[in-house]
Copies of this chain bind each other. A is one copy, B any other.
């Protein structure tokens, strides 16, 4: 069957029914293009974002997470500045050098166990400040949820924001899975983002039930001046903007974002518990949101992938001979039956 379930990524799922319905509803008659002033869909989406993040924000809509990360960050720096991020950050490893290309900048990597960085790991880069031969650290970028499935507490985010501001830097949050993090922390956007001091957010939804589109949120709208030109030059201005913004309006209505994220996170917990019942497998990272990382015997992997696809994350984890570390992602549409089928398949193999 063509459309079989997988644990490959939360972007192998489609759009959730509510989002699809919103798209159908918005597809009526003419509407001002480019999200300009009279575009009611965009105006309503902006209003929803302000309700969730505060009135002082400025929010812009782009096509995807790569763009949200690159354009958002680029607006707060010059090309001779540098970004500090975990080595595993999507921005660092998985954008095919888009930040380097578009911003003309350098990403300073921090090695981590769990995808999370701490102020004391950034401290050594501060020695470059004022030295004209070195790119000048200006942005700290974190992923929430991280690429290792872990999450920062609001206190940890605040510590990074405080460090950034004390050093004349900004804090960027890559929120490709921001809903999963908020749900895991049992908190809200204001507590996790607005009140911790984050400066710019890539607000993703495609991994949690949207069809396309991502939002760049400047937490202080004064930092967003002229961003419309940056977006257009960055090839990210959609003409039929309503089809991005109607999705975000719906996503932020009736806690749809929360419903989808709760389901994905709950299925990850279920999956984790199932994995733990299988002796030859070992969960390798804290399961904080919707991803489960597992040490799996190498020879087992291709067998299982035939039925349920997933990605190998680490070909040769240290101290685990014969094993690979794999990533299993749950999505808004993962069901209890999917988990049970997968666990059953694992037990058979």
Contact = CB atoms under 8 A, between A and B. Distances in A.
Contact of A14 (B31, B96, B127): B31
Interface stretch (A51-59, A177-185, A236-244, A280-288): A236-244
A109 B110 CA distance: 12
Contact of A104 (B97, B212, B235): B97
Contact of A30 (B13, B27, B102, B236): B13
Interface in A292-320: 309, 315
Contacts of A340: none
A105 B101 contact: yes
Contacts of A2: 29, 31, 40
Contacts of A231: 132
Given A11-B33, A135-B96, A212-B240, A230 B80 contact: yes
B67 A235 contact: yes
For chain A, what secondary structure do more than half of its interface residues adopt (helix, strand, loop), or is it mixed?
loop
Please classify how large the interface on chain A is, using the bins under 10, 10 to 19, 20 to 34, 35 or more.
35 or more
How many monomers of this protein are in the complex? 4
A61 to B, nearest CB: 12
A347 interface: no
B13 A24 contact: no
Contacts of A252: none
A32 interface: yes
A186 interface: no
B96 A100 contact: no
Nearest to A79: B101
16 contacts: A3-B29, A9-B33, A11-B239, A12-B32, A13-B30, A14-B28, A63-B235, A66-B235, A80-B226, A80-B232, A96-B133, A98-B234, A132-B231, A135-B233, A136-B226, A234-B235
Q: What are the 5 tightest A-B residue pairs by CB atom distance, in nearest-first order?
A: A3-B29, A101-B104, A80-B229, A11-B239, A97-B135
Interface of A: 1-6, 8-9, 11-15, 20, 23-24, 26-34, 40, 63-64, 66-67, 70-71, 78-80, 82, 93-98, 100-102, 104-107, 109, 127, 132-136, 206-207, 211-212, 226, 228-240, 242-243, 309, 315, 331, 333
